[in-house]
Amino acid sequence: MDLCGDGEALYLEVTDTGKGFDPLVLPASSSGLRGMRARAQSVGGSLKVESAPGKGTRVIAELPVSSGANSESSCPAGAGGSRN
């Protein structure tokens, strides 16, 4: 799990090496990802899901921060929120 920010947004990235899944084919009973996406969108953010069967999963939440926040990036190069 990684958490970083760049003054405009906070980025939370969670990665696992599990069995993975096809994010375009979610069972109707699956509300976890839908709920996370709805909560991110409710504050003006977004949720990105990268997964494939046998490849694990990577979930990145991008959440805006209020104006006046520190504009210096705390994200490592290549991280979900890196704007370098």
Domains detected in the chain: 2-64 (3.30.565.10)
Q: 3 falls in which pLDDT band (50, 70, 90)?
A: very high
Q: What's phi and psi for 77, nearest 5 deg?
A: -55, 135
Three-state SS across the chain?
CEEEECCCEEEEEEEECCCCCCCCCCCCCCCHHHHHHHHHHHCCCEEEEEECCCCCEEEEEEEECCCCCCCCCCCCCCCCCCCC
This prediction has a pTM of 0.74
Q: What is the rounded distance in angstroms from the CA atom of residue 17 to the CA atom of residue 78?
A: 19
pLDDT of residue 29: 74
Q: 82 falls in which pLDDT band (50, 70, 90)?
A: very low
* Section 19-31 average pLDDT: 82
